[in-house]
Structure 1
């Protein structure tokens, strides 16, 4: 099993870090678990706070749909957001 980390920047100024676990069967790589999903606030226009995340594995472990929930506050206005991301594991273990 391999652990793959992915970084994504969002429009809200949050950088998401996703740690995924890969396995292999019959010569094909697939996802087997999510170690963690974290986010870091990098916005100069407000503040992002992660409240949680949900994961759904589809396509026999080839794809993970992840939704990261949180709040963004700017100038006294607080809004709730769910940021959807999707990861695909190729046959050779490349995560995109």
Structure 2
């Protein structure tokens, strides 16, 4: 599994921190331009929501449930229809548009953006780009740690001593992210933490499970990236 680009399917259960480098600043206008193009494209391609009566909503909700079950059987996905009481007005789509929206979420991947800045162990951010077809959502992860000096290594160095907490939320993009668990594993004699984060991403009335793996590294002085 690649460190920079990790594929995670819905079967498994599924911003950047720029430094002060001139090259990074020079790249910002291009990134912004690309983001605007993506947003404009999504706006043009977005289906028009339906205006429905309550009985019509109940009918469409039943049909949506059948579509979710069909795709789960065909593709082995873990889609789950959110309660009808949580549906916003823009969730109600034609049946074909709803199915196409879900099929676009089957091709799912994520990228963990490497930190270019060193942080105090108290609160260390990481950013994860969650890609679903042309749709992108950025999730922010915050970890809290302690480090201690180890003299077992010649000259001494700081190593992780404990992990206090880890939280995650959507930083940019549509939808909702709910973290359900995280499993930390210390490695490399205490200089790194590998963490598997489990959660659900909800968009347009449908939730999907995801597992995201990230890694924190402690340098010799106790700075975390």
TM-score calculated relative to the size of structure 2: 0.40
Structure 1 position 5 matched with structure 2 position 123: yes
Q: Could you say what the CA RMSD is over the residues aligned between the two structures, in angstroms?
A: 1.6
**Residues 31-90 of structure 1: CA distance to partner in whole angstroms, max 9, x if unpaired?**
011100011233441110000100000111011001111000111221111111101111
Task: Determine if contact 1:71/1:80 at 8 Å carries over to the other structure.
Answer: yes
Measured in 1, the distance between the counterparts of 2:121 and 2:202 equals 33
Task: Determine if contact 2:185/2:195 at 8 Å carries over to the other structure.
Answer: yes
Residues 10-89 of structure 1: pairs in structure 2 closer than 5 A: 10-12=128-130, 13-26=138-151, 27-89=156-218
Shift of 1:4: 3.2
Measured in 1, the distance between the counterparts of 2:125 and 2:224 equals 11
| Higher radius of gyration, 1 or 2 | 2
Task: Pick the structure with more helix per residue.
Answer: 2
Compared with structure 1, are the counterparts of its residues 94 and 69 closer, same or farther at alpha carbon in structure 2 (3 Å cutoff)?
Answer: same
Task: Pick the structure with more strand per residue.
Answer: 1
TM-score calculated relative to the size of structure 1: 0.87
Task: Determine if contact 1:15/1:42 at 8 Å carries over to the other structure.
Answer: yes
Measured in 2, the distance between the counterparts of 1:7 and 1:42 equals 11
Task: Determine if contact 1:18/1:37 at 8 Å carries over to the other structure.
Answer: yes
Q: State the aligned residue count.
A: 95
